[in-house]
């Protein structure tokens, strides 16, 4: 029996998690290559899977890929199309992993990229403020305290105060990134796998600093996402004060 359309609309997440497509494909490519290295799939099959995944990525980027609510999320979309195109070879991609550790890996990859993007933007804004401080070095502004004018200050001093605030924001992001950049893949559903997978191989391919030590924690941890949101809140507060 087909799932009722209202249920599909209630349970789908593809409307927002489609933004994870690059990360889902990157994680799957690394996993497929590792499976061949570990002898769990053949080299030819692994190359087939990687080629098909890369083609799916190109189609998504070109907006030539169909997204459907009956496929629920980005992981099911990519996996379903992979199986349609490769048959049993496509099904082997899920060897040694679960949707749980796959989702956790995708989210960490996305958050890591977001942290790096925000950091780049903060650096750019710091440069703008430093240039403004140099350009307006002789301008004097009234400094305020308790909502009243207090001491005169140089505009440069005011601009550079926000450079310092943003530097602390960057430090918070860098510290958060350390906890983000840990590979959960290999935790499977929650208790690992008996298959001889090579987590170190996947870690290196995806640029993680380390692998998660506990599989239950790895599949359930979302602390890093909360921490990232806190960092963004602090940044927004500083930008609001500057504006």
Question: Which pLDDT score, from 0 to 100, does residue 179 have?
Answer: 97
**Residues 6 or more apart in contact with residue 92 via CB below 8 angstroms:** 35, 40, 41, 45, 49
Phi and psi at residue 11, to the nearest 5°: -95, -15
Residue pLDDT, tens place only, 77-97 = 999 999 999 999 999 999 999
Q: Are 14 and 97 in contact (CB under 8 A)?
A: no
pTM value > 0.85: yes
- Which residue in 75, 82, 81, 17 sits closest to 49, CA to CA? 82
Question: Which pLDDT score, from 0 to 100, does residue 242 have?
Answer: 59
Question: Which pLDDT score, from 0 to 100, does residue 12 have?
Answer: 86
Q: What is the pLDDT along the chain (243 residues), one digit of tens a residue?
A: 678 888 888 888 999 999 999 999 999 999 999 999 999 999 999 999 999 999 999 999 999 999 998 888 999 999 999 999 999 999 999 999 999 999 999 999 999 999 999 999 999 999 999 999 999 999 999 999 998 999 999 999 999 999 999 999 999 999 999 999 999 999 999 999 999 999 999 999 999 999 999 999 999 999 999 999 999 999 999 888 655
Question: Which pLDDT score, from 0 to 100, does residue 6 have?
Answer: 84
Question: Which pLDDT score, from 0 to 100, does residue 98 have?
Answer: 94
Phi and psi at residue 152, to the nearest 5°: -75, 140
Question: Which pLDDT score, from 0 to 100, does residue 11 have?
Answer: 83
Question: Which pLDDT score, from 0 to 100, does residue 193 have?
Answer: 94
């Amino acid at each position: 029996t087909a799932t009722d359309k209202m249920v599909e609309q209630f349970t789908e997440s593809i409307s927002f998690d489609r933004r994870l497509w690059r990360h889902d494909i990157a994680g799957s490519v690394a996993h497929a290559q590792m499976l061949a290295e570990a002898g769990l799939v053949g080299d030819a099959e692994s190359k087939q899977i990687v080629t098909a995944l890369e083609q799916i990525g190109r189609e998504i980027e070109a907006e030539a890929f169909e997204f459907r609510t009956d496929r629920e999320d980005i992981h099911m979309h990519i996996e379903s199309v992979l199986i349609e195109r490769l048959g049993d070879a496509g099904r082997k991609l899920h060897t040694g992993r679960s949707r749980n550790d796959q989702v956790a890996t995708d989210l960490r990859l996305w958050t890591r990229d977001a942290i790096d993007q925000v950091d780049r933007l903060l650096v750019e804004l710091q440069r703008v403020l430093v240039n403004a401080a140099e350009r307006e070095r002789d301008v004097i502004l009234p400094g305020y305290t308790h909502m009243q004018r207090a001491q005169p200050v140089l505009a440069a001093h005011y601009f550079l105060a926000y450079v310092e605030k943003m530097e602390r924001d960057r430090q918070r992001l860098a510290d958060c990134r350390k906890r983000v950049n840990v590979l959960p893949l290999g935790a499977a559903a929650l208790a690992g796998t008996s298959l001889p997978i090579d987590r170190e191989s996947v870690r290196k391919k995806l640029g993680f600093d380390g692998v998660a030590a506990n599989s239950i924690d790895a599949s359930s941890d979302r602390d890093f996402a909360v921490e990232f949101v806190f960092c963004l809140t602090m940044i927004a507060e500083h930008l609001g004060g500057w504006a």
